Amino acid sequence: MGLWISKLYDALMHFSEEDPAKIVILGLDAAGKTTILYKLKLNEVVTSIPTLGFNVETVSPCKGVSFTVWDIGGQDKIRRLWHHYYNQAEGMIYTIDSSDRERIDEAREELFGVITDEAMPKGVPVVILANKQDLPNAMKPSDIADALKLQEIRDRKWFIQGACATTGEGLYEAVSQLGTYVREYKRQKSAY
């Protein structure tokens, strides 16, 4: 029995290391997507400018988790192109600026636009990162979940995590959970 479990563990580790899952990071402009990507990749805060296209990096932020991450710009004109990037996604990190209360409705509309789009593969798991929790006016993750109406998402697994991209707080919990969801998603997808 122990040998079987060891072989299963080795197979899962080989699967995750050899075949990084395609993850898209989406969200409105200035939500912190690029900062998150490079915090995961380099464990550093990098100075960034608004992403006018995309950044792609392969990251292994925690044991057994390997992602090829597509960080796509969040400006209005670029959002219309998102579907070209998420059509083969196996997971999504949707980033919210927790201090941007004025655009929470816009963030909700964009999120639901993505998960209901035919180009987004059915059932792709989503981690919502409630970023910038270090700011004094930041909404709590539970308030963001309510404002985004996350309870209405029933066709995929989702998880919300408070985070601060500059310190890394909450990022590793989020990607660890996403890694679990992505493994389940890939198993279900390969069963069909």
Residue numbers belonging to the annotated binding site = 27-34, 51, 74, 131-134
Query: What residues are designated binding site for Mg(2+)?
Result: 34, 51
CA distance 189 to 94: 22
CA distance 107 to 136: 20
Helix extents (H) in 19-115: 33-42, 76-79, 83-86, 104-115
Query: What residues are designated binding site for GTP?
Result: 27-34, 74, 131-134
CA distance 97 to 104: 9
Q: Which residues are catalytic?
A: 75
Helix extents (H) in 19-52: 33-42
Cβ atoms 135, 169 nearer than 8 A: no
